[in-house]
Amino acid sequence: MKNLVILRLSLFFACMSCLCTSCEPEEDFGFPSKINISGEGESIDIKGSNDLPPVIRQIELLDYNGDGNNSGLLTEDKDYIETTTDWLTVKYFIAEYKLVLTATPNETNKKRNLYLYLLSGKSRQEITVIQSK
């Protein structure tokens, strides 16, 4: 009986895990999946290409470990969402359907990567941001 209860609980949690991982399906919101930035630092404007833009309400920047959850949320008093890390600032302008990425010069002598997530309801787009040496 004890084994049966453990088995049922295990199956329940396995099913819940599968359901939760499908809560944020990857979508193409009209932005590139990879953005390369110069090592000298620069500002890049990227206009979305979808005819019907998604309602993006949140953006996040994470490193390869999923750390550094720098999240920007849509607020009523702004027409953009902003988030920043030690070397990259991202603004999403809602009315213009445009991302602006601003990077500081890379003085680490190493390539730097971050993952930018655009979130709209239960969907998201992942964008890899790479800054050269």
3-state secondary structure 51-69: CCCCCCCEEEEECCCCCCC
Does 20 have pLDDT greater than 80? no
pTM given for the model: 0.75
Look at the block and give the residue holding tokens 């008093």.
77
Distance from CA of residue 115 to its chain's centroid? 6
What is the pLDDT at residue 76? Answer: 64
| pLDDT tens digits for range 48-86 | 999 888 899 899 998 876 666 566 666 667 889 999 898
What is the pLDDT at residue 26? Answer: 78
**Cα-based distances in Å from 86 to 31, 63, 103:** 23, 12, 9
